[in-house]
Structure 1
Amino acid sequence: MSDPSSDVRAFEAHAPEADLDDLRARLAAARLPEAETVDRAATGRGRWEQGVPLDDLVEIVDYWRTSYDWRVFEGRLDRIGQFRTTIDGLGIHFLHRRSARADATPLLLTHGWPDSVVRFADVVEELANPVDAAVPAFHVVVPSLPGFGYSERPAVTGWGTEKTAAAWVELMGRLGYDEFVAHGGDWGGNITTVLAGRFPDHVRGIHTTFAEGTPGLTMDGLTPLERAWAEGTRDFWRHRAAYAKQQATRPQTIGYSLVDSPVGLLAWLLDKFAEWSDTEGSPFETISRDHILDNVTLYWLTRTGASAARIYYESHNALDPELRVEVPSAITIYPADVERCPRPWAEQRYRQIVRWGTPSRGGHFPSMEVPRHLRRGPTSRPRRRVGRPGTLKACDGSAYWVG
């Protein structure tokens, strides 16, 4: 995937003040519907049965308009280190934090939807320069998916998970990381699986919170917990995945609302943070309002509500059923995630699972919900196995967790 525009350039985020003024004016002029018809005195998840409750939305819209400071997050991104490069004709934005440690391992983190690089903002520094010298350190790279954030919006079809995975290998090579470990959740987990399956000479090992089995597997022999996971995932796709069907079939239609209305965008994304996180009645129990608004504001200012939705159109059900992952794989299944893959199913695709984790807390956004739960595998140095000379086939130290 060679490209003459291979220079990596420093990038600085700075939204025009006029765009922030326009956002606040739109929030002030928002037209809201009547309240949901569920019992407004209800507690817990029942309050969200019809979607984002009006009272909750009014409160966060007011905070967004009067108190939230986007410049704080812009500064955080700049301190981590932001860059742009062009791959296959598309501008790709990424965060890059090199570790001060000489023994650091290159680490690629890939986000999904409805999030962005915001997903990993809280964990980059700890991964790059951990306080405990016994903890592995990483050179951290966090790209924005095509059509997300400060990456360019594709003008043609084709930027699905396979092409994105190939682009990530090109990106890491440009940074001098011919071999690396990778982590992802949601679409980032799918892309991480593709990376490991398609590019094993570059990927030492992976960790994912989104393991995907192969089609047609039976529930025979599963434990009661594993059956509950499988049935819960099936229930999710049958009854709670209308957003995915919409974005996989008509992303342009919903895109008009997501780009034109900040309140519409907020509600569309907030609904998923609420349903998919490990909380009782509000995503703000584990994720701060500012973190949620960092993410939503990034979508708003970059006008990527429609282009980000298209990842479903490009990639929904596109994972090759024959794809197998032979590199060492660590998998974590969080208790409140919406898709949980039984280990016997995961083993059909991931052929060398070196660590399987089932934490007691956390949902779909663990690095935002429980950012201190950074876990690592064995601390031994990478070891080489028999294979092509000079090719790192396995890395014991890559069985890490990004919680």
Structure 2
Amino acid sequence: MTIEAFDISLGDDVLLDLRERLSRTLYTQPSDSAYWAAGVDPGYLRELVAYWAGEFDWRAAEARLNAFPQFLAEVNGRKVHFVHLRAERPEGALPLVLTHGWPSSFVEMLRVAPLLTGRFDVVIPSLPGFLFSDLPGQPYTRRGVAEIWHELMTGVLGYERFGAFGGDIGGGVTQWLGALFPESVAGVHVTSAVSTADFSERPATPEEQAYLDHLAAYDERDQGYSEIMWTRPDTIAAALADSPAGLIAWIIDKYRDWSDCDGDLEKRWDKDTLCTVATLYWATGSIGSSFRQYYDYPNNRPVPPISVPAAITLSNEPAYVGLPRSLPERVFSDLRHWSNPGRGGHFMSHEEPEQVAREITDFFGPLS
């Protein structure tokens, strides 16, 4: 296993090609007169693409990203990209691994990470197949990523004990870390992808069933994007890998839907951040490989009982409205921290970094 320092450095030819493609974007007419009713509003997309092509300063964004110490590690023959921030007072500092989801990136965690270094070392990996991290050599599962992260934290970075935090895919990875490695994982903290249990032995309560029915109804309205990525990822990837406007539309559709933004995307995401994330996906050609965890999803198995200390700070997004505490308690036998702040959605670490920093510190502080 090797580790080396890494800086992001996109070639001028990549940026020129991107701007030229953006300048040739063709736009559709809206399917509905209501703003964003049928997906990304074509008028907003035109405005964002014009900003990306003309005003957005990638070199300034690149410098901001490179202000965070980044590395590439070889884990089981595969490349893993990560940010690594050391605690201001190293003695007794608990390491934390923060894991993002889809269609996100390590950028999601960069607002909260500096707020944690007073007490913690912070490691922010890019998920396999995202940006600068290689796809795994076997089917892509949350358990498999947890095994990679454990090797990164213990075998590569030399930590004997660490905490884990994440949401969405990162929440699933975090739970598997706690289930598989209780001897080295001090605790797990999730904001979404909260596991539910097998109900064969203990049927759902009326409150639990009401939530499960709500979730199923929400999925019927929301899951169109995932159906194509589960069944035909290469088809949609071909379009998005060739059209940067299509790529950013695919991403911001979920940023608006899943953020706690009241329908106003830029309440949570300024154009510079949106263009930064989209440029990273574009330049690395990784939108298609980011779909692999959808295509391989049937290989996932239910998370077994988790005995390490656990915390939930519940995402304020439609999928988690009404989630009763009793459901995660079926999986987490030591649920020590339960919080429903009513602020911050799917990308909570970016949307509410101060809130997340307080929640992480309140939970992991006593475990240090």
- For normalisation by structure 2, the TM-score amounts to 0.92
Give the Å deviation of 1:227.
Answer: 6.4
Corresponding residue SS for 2:67: helix
Aligned to 1:324: 305
Matched, 1:53 2:45: no
Q: Which one of the candidate residues 21, 25, 30 is aligned to 2:25?
A: 30
Distance 1:157 1:255, change over 3 A: farther
Aligned to 2:78: 90
- Is contact 1:338–1:364 with CA below 8 Å preserved after alignment? no
- Is contact 1:196–1:326 with CA below 8 Å preserved after alignment? yes
Matched, 1:344 2:329: no
Q: Which one of the candidate residues 206, 210, 214 is aligned to 2:197?
A: 214
Matched, 1:63 2:63: no
**Greater displacement, 234-243 / 189-198:** 234-243
- Is contact 1:377–1:398 with CA below 8 Å preserved after alignment? no
Q: Which one of the candidate residues 295, 316, 336 is aligned to 2:277?
A: 295
Give the Å deviation of 1:316.
Answer: 4.8
Distance 1:338 1:379, change over 3 A: closer
Matched, 1:365 2:337: no
Structure holding more helix per residue: 2
Aligned to 2:296: 314
Give the Å deviation of 1:63.
Answer: 0.7
Distance 1:317 1:51, change over 3 A: farther
Partners in 1 of 2:112 and 2:171 — Cα distance?
Answer: 17
Q: Which one of the candidate residues 89, 94, 107 is aligned to 1:118?
A: 107
Matched, 1:158 2:139: yes
Structure 1 unaligned regions, length at least 5: 1-5, 130-136, 381-394
Partners in 2 of 1:247 and 1:228 — Cα distance?
Answer: 28
Can you list the C-alpha shifts for 1:173-212, whole angstroms capped at 9, x where unaligned? 1112121000000000000011100111110001001211
Partners in 2 of 1:378 and 1:153 — Cα distance?
Answer: 32
Instruction: State the one-letter code of the partner of 1:35.
Output: P
Q: Which one of the candidate residues 94, 98, 104 is aligned to 1:105?
A: 94
Distance 1:232 1:282, change over 3 A: farther
1:239-318 matches, within 5 Å, as 239-316=221-298, 318=300
Matched, 1:141 2:136: no
Give the Å deviation of 1:317.
Answer: 7.1
Give the Å deviation of 1:236.
Answer: 2.3
Give the Å deviation of 1:119.
Answer: 0.8
Instruction: State the one-letter code of the partner of 2:311.
Output: A
Distance 1:398 1:276, change over 3 A: farther
Aligned to 1:76: 64
* Number of residue-to-residue matches in the alignment: 361
Can you list the C-alpha shifts for 1:256-312, whole angstroms capped at 9, x where unaligned? 112111011111111000111112222111221212222111111100010001111
- Is contact 2:139–2:299 with CA below 8 Å preserved after alignment? no
- Is contact 1:77–1:95 with CA below 8 Å preserved after alignment? no
- Is contact 1:255–1:306 with CA below 8 Å preserved after alignment? yes
Aligned to 2:14: 19
RMSD, matched Cα? 2.0
Partners in 2 of 1:302 and 1:379 — Cα distance?
Answer: 37
Structure 2 unaligned regions, length at least 5: none
Matched, 1:375 2:363: no
- Is contact 2:218–2:318 with CA below 8 Å preserved after alignment? no
Corresponding residue SS for 2:354: coil
Corresponding residue SS for 2:172: helix
Aligned to 1:384: none
Give the Å deviation of 1:250.
Answer: 1.8
- Is contact 1:355–1:377 with CA below 8 Å preserved after alignment? no
Corresponding residue SS for 1:99: coil
Partners in 1 of 2:48 and 2:162 — Cα distance?
Answer: 40
Instruction: State the one-letter code of the partner of 1:163.
Output: G
Instruction: State the one-letter code of the partner of 1:324.
Output: P
Distance 1:215 1:83, change over 3 A: same
Give the Å deviation of 1:315.
Answer: 2.7
Can you list the C-alpha shifts for 1:308-330, whole angstroms capped at 9, x where unaligned? 01111123572325x11100000
- Is contact 1:27–1:61 with CA below 8 Å preserved after alignment? yes
- Is contact 1:180–1:202 with CA below 8 Å preserved after alignment? yes
Instruction: State the one-letter code of the partner of 2:326.
Output: P
Instruction: State the one-letter code of the partner of 1:13.
Output: I
Give the Å deviation of 1:339.
Answer: 3.8
Give the Å deviation of 1:398.
Answer: 4.3
Instruction: State the one-letter code of the partner of 1:122.
Output: R
- For normalisation by structure 1, the TM-score amounts to 0.85
Q: Which one of the candidate residues 295, 302, 314 is aligned to 1:333?
A: 314
